[in-house]
């Protein structure tokens, strides 16, 4: 049986702190789970619990780069924005290197394909959330297209 890349987490925290956490996530344009991951990874890196080459840190930094890119796009994007982001990653050497590091399995319990799929799905969801879009139809790329991804969901403006 394949191991999942994510696990459920339940916490007991003061309700006022939960409200603050929700506000922080909203302020940063992130889901609560992505914000928690971001905080944990950044703090682990700061404390040298994970190294600069850790795939989780590379993935976190890649998402930060994508967030900046999307801020520049503003409302000027079409339904193929996910493909455009992955093309931008592929054509930008330092981002491609970050991507290559981000898709490396974090442990032996996760295969390279599972990690790649996890990272790509998370990037797709991140783009959708950052732009406030709805999901459209799935678009499968032609075999041999040379893209980082095999398919993507078209994104529709709200």
Where are the domains positioned within the chain?
Answer: 14-50, 53-157
C-alpha 154/C-alpha 131 separation (Å) is 12
Q: Let me know the angle formed at the C-alpha of 27 by 24 and 29, rounded to the nearest 5 degrees.
A: 105
- What are the pLDDT digits (tens) for 51-100? 999 999 999 999 999 999 999 988 899 999 999 999 999 999 999 999 99
Average pLDDT over residues 15-31: 93
What's the confidence (pLDDT) of residue 1? 37
* Number of residues that make up the chain: 158
Q: Are 148 and 90 in contact (CB under 8 A)?
A: yes
Residue 148 predicted with pLDDT over 90: yes
* pLDDT exceeds 90 at position 5: no
Q: Is the pTM of this model over 0.75?
A: yes
pLDDT reading at 3 higher than 70? no
For residue 20, CA distances in Å to 28, 47, 132, 143 come to 12, 24, 22, 46
| Average per-residue pLDDT for the chain | 93
- Quick one: pLDDT at residue 4? 61
């Amino acid at each position: 049986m394949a191991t999942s890349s994510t696990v459920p987490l339940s916490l007991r925290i003061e309700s006022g702190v939960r409200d603050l956490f929700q506000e922080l996530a909203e302020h940063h344009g992130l889901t609560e789970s992505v914000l928690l991951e971001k905080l944990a990874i950044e703090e682990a890196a700061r404390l040298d619990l994970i190294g600069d080459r850790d795939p989780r840190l590379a993935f976190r930094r890649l998402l930060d780069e994508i967030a900046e890119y999307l801020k520049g796009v503003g409302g000027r994007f079409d339904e193929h924005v996910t493909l455009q982001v992955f093309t931008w990653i592929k054509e930008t050497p330092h981002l491609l290197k970050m991507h290559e590091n981000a898709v490396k399995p974090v442990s032996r319990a996760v295969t390279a394909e599972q990690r790649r799929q996890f990272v790509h799905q998370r990037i797709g969801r991140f783009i959708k959330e950052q732009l406030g879009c709805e999901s459209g139809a799935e678009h499968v790329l032609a075999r041999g297209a040379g893209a980082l991804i095999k398919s993507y969901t078209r994104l529709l403006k709200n």
